[in-house]
Amino acid sequence: MLRSGEVISKMRIERIDLQNYRQFRNVSINFDSSTKEDLHVIVADNATGKTNLLNAINWCLYGDEPHLSKDSQQLPRLNLNSLLQADEGTKVTVSVEVLTETEGNRITFKRSEDYVVHKDSNQPVLRDIDFTITYIDENKNAKWVTDEEAAAYVERFVPRDIREFFFFDGERLDTYFKSATGQQISNAMFRISQVDTLNRMSDRLEGVVNDLKREAGKRSPQIEQLRDNIEGKEKNRKEVVKQITELNGQKEEARGKIDELNERLRSIPDIEQLQTEQAQLNETSKKKEQIRNDKITEKQNMLFEFGILLKLYPSLDKSSLVIQDKVANKEIPQTYDTQLLDNIISTHHCICARRVEEGSDAERHIQKLRTDITSSSIIARELLQMIGPIEQVKKKISTFKSSLELITREIQLYEEELDGLNQKIQSIHSQIGGYNVEQIKQWYSELKNYQNIHDFNIERITSLKFAREKLDKEITDLNQDLNKALEKEAVSQKLRHQINFGNKAYGVIGEVVQTMMDRVRNDIEKETKNSFFNLIWKKETFKDVYIDDNYALHLMHSLGYECLGSVSASERQLLALSFVIALHNVSGFDSPILVDTPVARVSNEQRENLGKIFHQISGNKQLILLFLPTEYSVEISNTLDTCASSMRKLRLTEDEREIQVEVLR
Amino acid sequence: MPTTNIAKQIYETIRERAPNDPPLQEFISAILKWELDSKGTFQFKENYRQRIRLYASKWGGDK
- What are the per-10-residue average pLDDT scores of chain A (665 residues)? 49 93 94 85 91 93 88 86 88 94 86 89 84 84 84 80 81 63 72 82 91 80 85 92 88 80 76 87 95 94 89 88 86 75 86 84 86 80 85 86 91 94 91 80 90 94 94 91 78 82 93 89 90 84 87 86 79 84 79 87 80 86 92 90 92 87 88
B46 to chain A: closest CA residue: A208
Residue A540 DSSP symbol = T
**Encoded amino acid at A488, one letter:** K
Is A152–B39 a contact, with Cβ atoms under 8 angstroms apart? Answer: yes
Cross-chain CB nearest to A588 (options B5, B33, B36): B5
- Residues of chain A in contact with residue B55, where contact means CB-CB under 8 angstroms, are 501
Contact A457, A247 (CB under 8 A): yes
* Distance (Å) of CA A660 to CA A23, A25, A26, A40, A341: 9, 9, 9, 17, 145
Contact of B16 with chain A, judged by CB distance below 8 Å, is answered with yes
Q: For the beta carbon of residue B61, count every other beta carbon within 10 angstroms.
A: 10
Q: Which residues of chain B have pLDDT under 50?
A: 1-3
Locate the domains of chain A by residue range: 11-166+589-663, 191-268+437-547, 273-432
pLDDT given at position B2? 36
- Residues of chain A in contact with residue B27, where contact means CB-CB under 8 angstroms, are 501, 505
Distance between B9 CA and the closest CA of chain A, angstroms:
8
Distance between B1 CA and the closest CA of chain A, angstroms:
5
**Encoded amino acid at A427, one letter:** S
Helix (H), strand (E), coil (C) string for A377-435: HHHHHHHHHHHHHHHHHHHHHHCHHHHHHHHHHHHHHHHHHHHHHHHHHHHHHHHHHCC
Residues near A624 by beta carbon (within 8 Å), at least 6 away in sequence: A13, A31, A40, A42, A592, A593, A594, A595
- Burial pattern A480-518, b for ≥16 Cβ within 10 A else e, equals ebbeebbeeeebeeebbbbbbbbbbbbbbbeebbebbbe
- Residues of chain B in contact with residue A205, where contact means CB-CB under 8 angstroms, are 31, 48
Distance between B33 CA and the closest CA of chain A, angstroms:
8
- Residues of chain B in contact with residue A188, where contact means CB-CB under 8 angstroms, are none
Is B48–A204 a contact, with Cβ atoms under 8 angstroms apart? Answer: yes
Quote ipTM for the complex: 0.94
pLDDT given at position B42? 63
Contact A342, A370 (CB under 8 A): yes
What CA–CA distance (Å, rounded) separates A7 from A10?
9
Contact A224, A210 (CB under 8 A): no
DSSP assignment of A439-458: HHHHHHHHHHHHHHHHHHHH
Is A9–B3 a contact, with Cβ atoms under 8 angstroms apart? Answer: yes
pLDDT given at position A3? 45
Residues near A395 by beta carbon (within 8 Å), at least 6 away in sequence: none
pLDDT given at position A5? 44
What CA–CA distance (Å, rounded) separates A54 from A166?
11
A205 to chain B: closest CA residue: B48
Could you tell me which residues of chain A have a Cβ less than 8 Å from any Cβ in chain B? 4-7, 9, 152, 192-194, 197-198, 200-201, 204-205, 207-209, 211-212, 497-498, 500-502, 504-505, 508-509, 511-512, 515-516, 519-520, 586-589
Per DSSP, helices labelled H in A435-568 are 437-488, 493-535
**A71 in helix, strand or coil?**
helix
Contact A595, A622 (CB under 8 A): no
- Residues of chain A in contact with residue B51, where contact means CB-CB under 8 angstroms, are none
CATH, domain range A191-268+437-547: 1.10.287
Q: Crossing angle of helices A634-643/A604-617, nearest 10°?
A: 20
Give the residue from A607, A627, A621, A649 showing the smallest Cα distance to A13: A621
pTM greater than 0.90 (yes/no): no
Contact B63, B20 (CB under 8 A): yes
- Residues of chain B in contact with residue A511, where contact means CB-CB under 8 angstroms, are 17
A501 to chain B: closest CA residue: B56
Is B1–A589 a contact, with Cβ atoms under 8 angstroms apart? Answer: no
Out of 3.40.50.880, 3.40.50.300, 3.30.420.10, 3.30.2320.80, the CATH code matching A11-166+589-663 is 3.40.50.300
